[in-house]
Structure 1
Amino acid sequence: MQYCTRCCYPSNHPLNITFDSEGVCSGCRIHEEKDTLNWARRRESLKALVNAYRNRSGSGYDCIVPVSGARDSYFIVHTVRKDLGLNPLLVSYNKHYNTRRGHRNLAYLRTMFDLDIYTQVINPLTVKKITQESLKLRGSLYWHVLAGQTVWPVQVAVRHKIPLIIWGHHQGLDQVGMFSHTDEVEMSRKYRKEHDLMGLEAEDLLSLSDELGEEDLQAYFYPHDKEIANVGVRGIYLGNYMRWDTKRQHEDMIQRYGYETAVQQRTFDNYNDVDCIHYNGLHDYIKFLKFGYGKISDHVSREIRFGRLTREEGISIVSSYQNKKPNDLELFLKWSNLSEGELFGLVDKHRDFRVWSLRPDGQWFLKHSVAEVLMPENQKKHVIASREECKFHITPSRSPEAREDEYVLIDRGYVDSFPVAS
């Protein structure tokens, strides 16, 4: 197994990472553009692009912005509303594994910016059936979330004839350097299927499963190409036009709007994904069991590239987090009607044998880890020195008495008093 000589990514990254002759990965090389591109010029290009879509829908909305109670939703809405001066329709897919904190973040977001929001909530029994099948076929409890989050905004765009969808950043670009920022790639059905959905669209799930019917998956069907063409739907990524730095962006949103953060189980990044009980818990642990690395490697690699961690520090952090057992396992088992043995039996079928091996006694062991790979002396020159502190802050909870030990499907979506949006 090869590991990048600059960050901590392995060669079995599911988004297909490559390495140059110096052992530096494609993600690190594309990241170098963040310090060389003329971002002021690119922002002007963005403004010119979106100006052509002002109120073209006839509905009063200039664009659609997919949001949740976490990630970069606050920053995206702030940019669209305050910097670009657009009137967006917010669109949100309910992931079912919601935290109360995520509901609060989303409620404050739409209230402070005084925006309309369309939220899709699928029948929990249907979500359970789909999740049981996606675990069998892909070892994933998150397929329905990825599918819903990437199709619901497109469905709304077609239905209400709002052609422009504004997304945050492209993970294929940010993580593995699949594209250059200057390619200005846009959201596509092809990328969604091959990477976001692990090659499994709703139609594929329907044909492969004996347990699901068309009525179960109707909400996840992507609009027909003709429908998209008739409206002229396109999805752009802000990360192609702005120097995307999720840590700094979140800290700006904390100061401006009081975005709530929270300690996460399997990573030091307390800013992203605070709206989901499982994302940095069981979901990430399953990722580790499949590929031999988890979100901690994603976050460490990102911070190394920004010069906030050294590679040596990053490797130490990976070692301290990647084997942690999640404390949300029992909650998922109770909800899914699976035993622990049944769940991990399904996951084991999707292990990557390049990094995992099965002993004669039936125990799995990790054959390769970034912590165990010695870097040749001639490649150490590619390591980035740490330039600033890598510290993630924990904000006070707006509801300190609230517990985060159960799914909260629906909560109050509006608040009565809030900081003034600036």
Structure 2
Amino acid sequence: MSSPEQWTRPQSGAGSAATAARPSPEQVIAGLRATSEGGAELTQLLTPEGERLSSEQFDPYIADIDAEALRGLYRDMVIVRRADRESNAMQRQGQLGIWVPLLGQEAAQVGSGRALKPQDMAFPSYREHGVAYTRGVDFKELLGIFRCTDHSSWDFRKHRFHPYTIVIGNQVLNAAGYAMGQKFEGKVGDDPDAEATIVYFGDGATSQGDVHEGFVWAAVYDAPLVFFCQNNQWAISEPTERQSRLPLYQRARGYGFPGIRVDGNDVLACLAVTRWALDECRRGNGPVLIEAFTYRMDAHTTTDDPTRYRLSDELEAWKLKDPIERVRVHLSRTGGADAAFFEEVQAEADRFAAELRDYCFNMPDPPPERVFSAVYAEPSPLLEAQREEYLSYLSGFVDGGER
């Protein structure tokens, strides 16, 4: 079986470390099977077969999740997946410049997103479409980012959902600073209005310095910050085991705060663990690292070809752990939902996707001066001069610079 130890310290005759660091197909599959359930310390409340597991520690955090609430989580995931698939298709049809799929990560995003209270703040990377949905952001507003007409146009103060961050890991520093501000302003403690912050990043981002700096600052200042790592197994084309000798959640020990690994395809476990972590932060106990052990079922982005670096056997194995299907099976077995409900949800998701498509196809191009808006909180003489110079330049064309 492959391991970071074998890659960095190859046995005699295995060639250089650089050569030995290229795992064979057999090693990749062996590594997958060894970690397919996330290890002995994985927190799981709903198995891939739809069986409900009990947890003395985490069951109290989902005591309010009855059949109706679980149907709501199922609905969330189906709509988010349908919107993701429609957006992916629109990119292929030239309507979006790029799309970042979340296929397979619906439970991690919906579960953690629904764990947030209205006063909490969320900092996403660029794949958290499901979290945006749970925070009340209109999915249509996400499309402008990928059509290149605007950048995160929603009111982030209203939704408590920060604009997307494209620079890998940079949002962790932003979130650490924001959470430190919550601590300095006395917004943590036993008050029911106490606040916390959550920041999302992928397994690949854990190799970036910004993430580790965020760990340091949050730990030193006991910032109320939940680090939510969606470990989808692949940092574009590099497997997680090429990045760390230990499971990612164990890295928290080196910074002095707790880390936990949760089944990222289990919406109940993601909801419960994130609620617990946020409560820890709101009480003033400092940061928590959650590693949501999940899998990216599609490409990293629509510019990526995952068939060049991973095997179909791996994808097929993870299909059996589908986050939506396990909730569907559980609801069916327990009588929590019937066929009519599932058909109704699918029809609603199709309508949602149709509205997205209609909006995207008819989205007007912004005027040229739009690029200068909202650059600064207040007008800048230099920016105004640049704006006038640019518009004057465009006016010299026959069409006045219109497209």
TM-score category, normalised to shorter length: under 0.3
- What TM-score, normalized to structure 2? 0.26
- What TM-score, normalized to structure 1? 0.25
